[in-house]
Amino acid sequence: MKRIVLGVQYDGNSWRGWQKQPSGDTVQDVLERALKQFTNQAVHTTCAGRTDAGVHGLEQVVHFDTELTRTPYSWVNGVNAFLPSSVAVQWAKELDCDPASPEAFHSRFSARARTYHYVLHNNKIRSPLWGGRAGWVFRELNLEKMQAGAAYLLGEHDFSAFRAAECQAKSPVKHMYSIDIRQHGDMFIFTLKASAFLHHMVRNIVGSLVFVGTGKREPEWMRELLEAKDRSLAAPTFMPDGLYLAHIEYDPVWQLPQQKQILLPGFLSFLPAD
């Protein structure tokens, strides 16, 4: 058996999230159907992190095991021939490891960190061109206040205040390595990097930072939310439209051909993947 790793990109507007559902309308469903058509075998995939309906994948990392021998070029182009335009394999890597070994690469458990981007359109009038691509806030946002509020979230904390009720994570304690917030005209880009994220954690953090940015709350409120560990005290879950799973970090020993820079839709300049 060989362990094959794929980098997959997808438009979340077309699908009901990543994880397989009876409807068959998820990214995992369509990817596994394409793999089956390409290999003539049933293939089960495992991803680095599930994404909800409407959330985009700039570089989702997926692995599966197979006895077949194919070149990376063949895995990419062969599978893409059976995928719709909203999903595409970007790269493939066959790993020289025993899939049954506890030390084998695992797309989820081998991950060291995860990075998400959230793109937010801040304008009095909504733009139909950004629908499904960016969140929207009509009240003016203050960049400095949001940056000050985000600083309280850095480090290791119990993020229960930003955890969805249906979250299945064993522990709410995660390490937030960085939160970068940049403004490009009326567009704001939030980039969050952490050891892992709880269900809806990014959207809940962005929603609360928007409260700070519009003046509904002071930056210190973010620290108070962490200390209270009460989801009901934070802002409502923000819309999924502007959320992008950008990068999964692994030990360089695996030599995955991951993208070093990511182009967000609608932007002329590249952003670092992490």
Active site residues: 52
**Residue 257, Cβ neighbours under 10 Å: how many?**
12
Cβ–Cβ < 8 Å for 238, 207: yes
Whole-angstrom CA distances from 193 to 32, 112, 145, 265 are 29, 10, 20, 20
Q: Quote the distance between the C-alpha of residue 94 and its chain's center.
A: 23
Grouping H, G, I as helix, E, B as strand and the rest as coil, residue 241 is coil
Q: Residue 257 in contact with residue 93, Cβ under 8 Å?
A: yes
Closest listed residue to residue 274, CA positions, set 45, 110, 111 = 111
Torsion sign across C-alpha atoms 108, 240, 212, 266:
positive
Please give the Cα distance from 44 to 64 (Å, whole number): 6
Taking the CA atoms of the chain, what radius of gyration do you get in angstroms?
Answer: 19
